[in-house]
Amino acid sequence: MGDSIIGVKFSGGVIIAADQSNARSILVYQSNLDKIPSLTSHSMLGCSGPNADIVNFSEFIAKNLELYRLSNDDMILSPHAQANFARGELAKALRKGPFQVNALLGGYDVKSKEGELYWMDYLGTLQKVNFGAQGYAGYFVLSTMDREWKEGMNEAEALEVVKHGISNLGTRLLLNQPNWLIKVVDEKGVRTIEFGADPADC
């Protein structure tokens, strides 16, 4: 619950923001963690949960998607297919050794030229959404996003919605989350818009 992830879909892409704190109990290990690993050139997974599971699950999915690309004539699976693949792996692992990862998968679909955002929890529940949150963030930002999200927004407008959410959390959430990493995926691929602390050499 400690990791806050916010995702917003706009016309032509998706923005995902995540706090950069790596902490347990009263100790902050690190404040420049990147919790939004890329899965493919055009998709990313904002993850909430223990660092071990975030890394192992996201790398597992990413490498399998890369294997698919290498085995199938350079085909990058659509975000819909990636999300359902990830969901299946979470569901398979649930009754063996669950990945305790709650995630938001943001991707750009080259066929429809649309951004797609998928909400996924550690049980393997999957739902396509226009905006979403994981962690405590949901308790604060889902209501503001209900109000502010509109169909057909552009990147700048979506970023405003995200930043409003982040500011909201800064005011009202007891946990101190000073650094936020904001990434966008669109037709050009995944790129970082801004960060609180440089995640280089995480």
Partner 1 sequence: MSIFTYNGGAIIAMSGKNCIGIASDTRLGIQFQTVACDFQKVFKMSSKLFLGLAGLATDVQTLEKLLQFRMNLYELREERPMSPKAFAELLSNVLYEKRFGSYFVEPIVAGLNDDGAPFLVNM
- Residue selected from 123, 150, 160, 193 as contacting partner 1 according to rule CB under 8 A: 123
Q: Per rule CB under 8 A, is residue 139 in the interface with partner 1? A: yes
Supply the DSSP string of 24-65, one letter for each residue. ETTEEEES------EEETTEEEEEES-HHHHHHHHHHHHHHH
In angstroms, the CA 47 to CA 127 distance is 15
Nearest-approach distance from CB 91 to partner 1, in angstroms: 5
Beta bridge partners of 52: none
- Residue selected from 72, 112, 127, 167 as contacting partner 1 according to rule CB under 8 A: 127
Binding positions for partner 1, 142-161, rule CB under 8 A: 142
Nearest-approach distance from CB 93 to partner 1, in angstroms: 11
In angstroms, the CA 59 to CA 65 distance is 10
CA dihedral 19, 25, 29, 35 (to 10 degrees): -30
Nearest-approach distance from CB 191 to partner 1, in angstroms: 28
Q: Per rule CB under 8 A, is residue 94 in the interface with partner 1? A: yes
Kind and range of the H or E run holding 3: none
Which of the stretches 5-13, 61-69, 82-90, 169-177 binds partner 1 when contact is defined by CB under 8 A? 82-90
Which residue is listed with tokens 């602390």?
197
- Residue selected from 44, 126, 141, 182 as contacting partner 1 according to rule CB under 8 A: 126
* Binding residues for partner 1 (CB under 8 A): 87-88, 90-91, 94-95, 119, 121, 123-127, 129, 132, 138-139, 142
